């Protein structure tokens, strides 16, 4: 037992089920996770590197760690209360989370989902919120803790005989190891990608550094900044004759127009700064068939509007000297082609190892067209004054000096590892710079000024924390930094970072930050947080795990996951040589071929290998959590097969809602994270599919009834909101099916471990697909909306159930599109967009009868269904059609009218109730219609 445990705990949790196997307040956690995700740069780990996009919210990680350690006892309400206290999700914690004490009363009256955006995140408050709760916590758990790390340690001893160790073999940006260590666990983190390991190290040892270490890091940052700035100043390449200093340099590509022979700067827009009303004009040089630049400030509205149109319009080069208004396509200038084997190519020259600027004969050359200057009086001021000017002859001489320095030193810098010398390996994302620019090495993405400053910084940055600074500097310094003329502070101008998205974009013009701005942008100042847990970080494949862990929490790749194995080579190329001793044992290679990616047979085999290795490196009572963000319809069948092959059994599944701001009609998608809870499979059962199907049915019903019962019990005791929402109950169908299925070793005489690895034919359906689909349908039958007749519900088609169910959900004020997406999948509605008046991510809404109109009441929506007939009748009533005719049309539209009459009345009455607060006219018409049908006299 660890010496920090206060006393021997009174009982063992070795065989006790974990709380997360029974209860998980996913509605509250969804709201909290979404708040954290929307914090942008305010997220704790994003400050280390926003270029890593796939981090899971820390609040969700903490919930999983505690959910695995806490027991599920005979008192589920008490279990939930303790969990919510520890997570700061309870009412008492609210007074610590409000920004001002005066807000407390107002915020406390709000529903939880409306409350969360107005208060601080749990991680933003001190542990003082637990001060008055330790007696209650310890009494319930049989512990003797007075801090969260100590409680975690005691629970680990009770369950595993030691402080708990959490493993993550897909560490990524480090969310899971960091938060597990912050609450007091020891952690093992591995990832194939050294950039992922570097970020994880930074989370644990930079953000989690002790005060003395943090002070040393800050001191070294300041020293490096001073020395590099002094060298740039000595070289005289960023100051003009008047003492002004360059803040940024604006470059654009230039090409020869094949229609006119003119050299044309490629500018998508001539606006430099919208806020300061600065544009660049092109001055024709007839003699040399080229353009010079004139920068103008304070221009009129008309000039600013005209300047929005540059020399590139819809991918075509247009300029004053070419009288053809359509110009010339860039693809034509570049010479794009496809050969007989559909291979793409063009006439671009492939750059060589020592190139860093284009050559005169290249298709695309480069021009400096503007410099943003800091006035000499405000260089050292906190509020700098800047102005823009076209480059002078003196400026161009300074440009030439920079190129000369880089040309002379580049071979030595590359040999020492100060500058990248690594080739760009072709790939899904890395083909873009190769194809569109002819770049062959990673340093080709950087201009001469970039390379000079980066080399000087890399030479000085030796502390491992400052290597994270170097990565951040790389992210804000390359030809991939787009100029945003209206997004800076006060709407002035901004030079975006490279990985605004998960691609390697190439631009026609780009901004280069001056050295002082670049150093400032690259010097990280992440928050300082105490991280008591011990950690070990290695670059290794998930299958090559080399540590025993009590709990594994992983966020594995799947299908269209971000191509980190390709795009992080952008960083690896610069950092791989002479790493600090803390990183020296890592493999500084992306090892693309070993990365688990894609889907299908290879993905499934690699995942089985990884999760089998994890299962073999945890105790018999160990537990695994798989965080899974799905976008593929076959996800559940695939996951069942993976878990089978790995010897794991599903115990529970919880759904945490997150959303994009995209709209479905614009090709956007919604993300939802499943928290899948697994144990080692202990049995050796065999069964037949017909028997298992019945068992699944019973398990789904039992699971949902238990969850609904807990909802009702808590509401009866004053809780204002449900613990489980419809999405949770729906996911219970998946979880119940997987829980039943994955306990069997053989089904219909087939060894499921072997079957899991069997290659599938195209569009092949397995018995597992059928059973899982059946489980979802069983779950949906139990999700009868409040106020709907149960017998009518069971007779409705999937699209009718979807429409009426979402009508019920809309009465709660929920407008999140992921609700519609999830239920559309569950009810097998292929195109639910046709039923929607809005598909905004946070403003989703169904069409009303009036919205559908007559033209949209065809068979495409509801066929000859009762719901379609009722909506058509309501539309007619809105348009003044006589009541008798309305009822007559309903009679004509519905097959077996007499048999379905009670269903028609039930649907109309239901719409009356659900539309009462949202559409009073439709509600009143529905009430009248229900009465007309119910009281109709049939001869």
> How far is 677 from 160, CA to CA, in rounded Å?
18
Question: What's 444's DSSP letter?
Answer: G
Question: What's 29's DSSP letter?
Answer: H
Over the stretch 897-928, which tens digit does the pLDDT of each residue have?
889 999 999 999 999 999 998 899 999 999 99
DSSP SS3 for 802: helix
In degrees, rounded to 5, the angle at the alpha carbon of residue 851 between the alpha carbons of residues 845 and 856 is 110
Per-residue confidence band for 665, with pLDDT thresholds at 50, 70 and 90 = very low
Query: What are residue 316's phi and psi, to 5 degrees?
Result: -125, 140
In degrees, rounded to 5, the angle at the alpha carbon of residue 207 between the alpha carbons of residues 201 and 212 is 105
Do 663 and 840 form a contact (C-beta atoms < 8 A)?
yes
> How far is 5 from 111, CA to CA, in rounded Å?
39
Do 477 and 518 form a contact (C-beta atoms < 8 A)?
yes
Do 867 and 857 form a contact (C-beta atoms < 8 A)?
no
Rounded percentage of the chain residues whose pLDDT exceeds 70 = 92
Looking at residue 189, its pLDDT comes to 97
In 573-603, which positions are buried (b, 16+ CB within 10 angstroms) versus exposed (e)?
bbbbbebeeebeebbbebebebbbbebeeeb
Do 526 and 509 form a contact (C-beta atoms < 8 A)?
no
> How far is 140 from 553, CA to CA, in rounded Å?
26
Do 159 and 14 form a contact (C-beta atoms < 8 A)?
yes
Question: What's 423's DSSP letter?
Answer: B
Over the stretch 780-813, which tens digit does the pLDDT of each residue have?
777 788 889 888 988 998 899 999 999 998 887 8
Tokens coding 81: 């209360």
Looking at residue 299, its pLDDT comes to 95
Looking at residue 70, its pLDDT comes to 98
Distance in Å from the first CA to the final CA of the chain: 85
> Per mean pLDDT, which range of 212-226, 299-313, 334-348 is the poorest?
334-348
Average pLDDT of the chain is 88
Length of the chain: 939
* Cβ atoms within 10 Å, residue 357: 17
Per-residue confidence band for 307, with pLDDT thresholds at 50, 70 and 90 = very high
- Strands 551-554 and 165-168: what pairing? parallel
> Residue 892 class from Cβ within 10 Å (0-12 exposed, 13-18 middle, 19+ buried)?
exposed
DSSP E strands, 353-404:
365-374, 386-389
Tokens coding 475: 């992210």
Tokens coding 341: 């084997």
Tokens coding 623: 């537990």
CA 435 to centroid of chain Cα atoms: 28
In 513-526, which positions are buried (b, 16+ CB within 10 angstroms) versus exposed (e)?
bbbbbbbebbbbeb
Q: Name the residue among 190, 398, 370 with its Cα closest to residue 280.
A: 370
Do 585 and 513 form a contact (C-beta atoms < 8 A)?
no
State mean pLDDT over 151-165: 97
> Can you state the percent helix, strand and coil of the chain, rounding each to 5?
45, 15, 40
Q: DSSP states of 547-586 as a string?
A: S--SEEEE----BT---HHHHTHHHHHHHSSS--GGGTTS
Q: DSSP states of 674-736 as a string?
A: EEEEEEE----EEE-HHHHHHHHHHHHHHHHHHHHHHHHHHHHTT-SS-SS-HHHHHHHHHHH
Which residues, other chains included, contact 509 with Cβ-Cβ below 8 Å and sequence gap of 6+?
A: 250, 251, 252, 253, 266, 267, 268, 369, 483
State mean pLDDT over 615-642: 81
- What is the reported pTM? 0.83
Over the stretch 403-452, which tens digit does the pLDDT of each residue have?
999 999 999 999 999 999 999 999 888 899 999 999 999 999 999 999 99
């Amino acid at each position: 037992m660890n010496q920090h445990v206060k006393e021997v705990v009174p009982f063992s949790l070795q065989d006790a089920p974990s709380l997360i196997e029974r209860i998980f307040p996913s509605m509250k956690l969804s709201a909290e996770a979404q708040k954290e995700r929307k914090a942008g740069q305010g997220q704790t780990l994003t400050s280390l590197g926003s270029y890593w996009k796939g981090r899971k919210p820390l609040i969700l990680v903490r919930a999983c760690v505690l959910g695995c350690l806490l027991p599920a006892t005979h008192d589920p309400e008490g279990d939930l209360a303790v969990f919510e206290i520890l997570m700061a999700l309870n009412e008492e914690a609210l007074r610590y989370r409000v920004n001002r004490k005066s807000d407390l009363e107002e915020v406390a009256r709000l529903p939880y989902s409306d409350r969360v955006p107005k208060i601080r995140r749990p991680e933003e408050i001190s542990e003082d919120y637990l001060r008055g709760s330790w007696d209650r916590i310890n009494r319930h758990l049989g512990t003797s803790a007075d801090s969260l790390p100590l409680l975690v340690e005691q629970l680990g001893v009770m369950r595993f005989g030691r402080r708990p160790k959490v493993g993550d073999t897909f560490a990524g940006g480090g969310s899971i190891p960091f938060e597990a260590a912050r609450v007091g666990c020891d952690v093992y983190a591995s990832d194939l990608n050294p950039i992922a390991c570097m970020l994880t190290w930074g989370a644990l040892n930079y953000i989690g550094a002790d005060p003395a270490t943090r002070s040393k890091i800050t001191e070294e940052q300041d020293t490096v900044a001073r020395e590099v700035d002094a060298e740039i100043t000595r070289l005289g390449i960023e100051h003009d004759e008047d003492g002004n200093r360059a803040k940024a340099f604006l470059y654009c590509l230039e090409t020869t127009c094949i229609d006119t022979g003119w050299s044309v700067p490629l500018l998508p827009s001539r606006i430099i700064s919208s806020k300061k009303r600065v544009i660049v004009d092109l001055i024709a040089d007839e003699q040399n068939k080229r353009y010079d630049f004139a920068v103008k400030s304070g221009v009129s509205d008309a000039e600013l509007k005209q300047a929005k149109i540059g020399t590139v319009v819809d991918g075509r080069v247009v300029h004053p000297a070419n009288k053809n208004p359509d110009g010339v396509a860039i693809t034509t200038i570049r010479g794009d082609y496809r050969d007989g084997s559909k291979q793409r190519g063009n006439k671009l020259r492939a750059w060589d190892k020592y190139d860093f600027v284009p050559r005169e004969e290249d298709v695309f050359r480069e021009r400096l067209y503007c410099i943003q200057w800091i006035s000499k009086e405000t260089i050292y001021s906190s509020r700098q004054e800047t102005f823009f000017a076209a480059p002078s002859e003196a400026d161009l001489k300074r440009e030439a000096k920079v190129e000369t320095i880089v040309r002379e030193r580049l071979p030595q810098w590359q040999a020492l590892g100060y500058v990248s010398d690594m080739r760009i390996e072709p790939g899904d994302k890395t083909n873009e710079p190769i194809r569109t620019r002819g770049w062959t090495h990673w340093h080709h993405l950087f201009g001469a000024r970039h390379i000079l400053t980066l080399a000087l910084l890399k030479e000085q940055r030796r502390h491992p924390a400052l290597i994270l600074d170097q990565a951040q500097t790389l992210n804000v310094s390359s030809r991939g930094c787009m100029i945003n003329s209206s997004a800076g502070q006060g709407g002035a101008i901004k030079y975006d970072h490279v990985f605004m998205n998960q691609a390697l974009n190439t631009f026609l013009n780009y901004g280069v930050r001056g050295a002082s701005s670049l150093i400032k942008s690259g010097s990280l100042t992440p928050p300082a947080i105490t991280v008591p847990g011990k950690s070990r970080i290695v670059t290794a494949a998930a299958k090559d795990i080399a540590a025993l862990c009590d709990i594994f929490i992983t966020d594995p790749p799947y299908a269209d996951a971000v191509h980190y194995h390709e795009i992080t080579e952008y960083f690896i190329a610069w950092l791989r040589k002479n790493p600090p001793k803390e990183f020296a044992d890592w493999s500084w290679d992306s090892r693309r071929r070993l990365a688990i990616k894609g889907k299908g047979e290879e993905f499934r085999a690699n995942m089985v290998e990884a999760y089998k290795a994890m299962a073999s490196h945890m105790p018999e009572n160990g537990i695994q959590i798989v965080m899974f963000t799905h976008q593929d319809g076959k996800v559940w069948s695939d996951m069942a097969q993976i878990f089978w092959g790995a010897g794991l059994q599903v115990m529970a599944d919880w759904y945490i809602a997150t959303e994009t701001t995209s709209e479905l009609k614009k090709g956007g998608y919604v993300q939802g994270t499943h928290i899948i809870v697994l144990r080692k499979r202990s049995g050796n059962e065999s069964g037949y599919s017909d028997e298992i199907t019945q068992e699944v049915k019973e398990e789904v019903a039992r699971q949902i009834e238990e969850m609904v019962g807990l909802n009702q019990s808590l509401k009866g005791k004053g809780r204002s909101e449900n613990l489980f929402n419809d999405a949770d109950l729906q996911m219970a169908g998946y979880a119940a099916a997987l829980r039943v299925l994955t306990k069997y070793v053989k089904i219909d005489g087939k060894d499921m471990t072997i079957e899991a690895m069997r290659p599938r034919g195209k569009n092949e359906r397995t018995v597992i697909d059928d059973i899982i689909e059946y489980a979802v349908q069983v779950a949906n039958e139990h999700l009868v909306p409040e106020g709907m007749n149960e017998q009518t519900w069971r007779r409705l088609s999937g699209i009718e159930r979807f429409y009426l169910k979402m009508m019920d959900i809309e009465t709660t004020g929920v407008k999140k599109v992921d609700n519609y997406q999830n239920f559309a999948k569950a009810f097998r509605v292929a195109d639910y967009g046709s039923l929607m008046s809005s598909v905004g991510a946070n403003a989703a809404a169904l069409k009303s009868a009036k919205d559908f109109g007559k033209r949209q009441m065809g068979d495409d929506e509801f066929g000859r269904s009762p719901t379609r007939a009722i909506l058509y009748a309501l539309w007619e009533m809105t348009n003044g059609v006589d009541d008798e005719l309305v009822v007559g049309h309903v009679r004509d539209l519905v097959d077996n009218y007499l048999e379905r009459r009670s269903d028609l009345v039930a649907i109309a009455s239901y719409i009356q109730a659900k539309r009462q607060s949202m559409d009073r006219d439709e509600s009143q018409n529905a009430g009248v219609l229900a009465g007309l049908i119910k009281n109709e006299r049939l001869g």
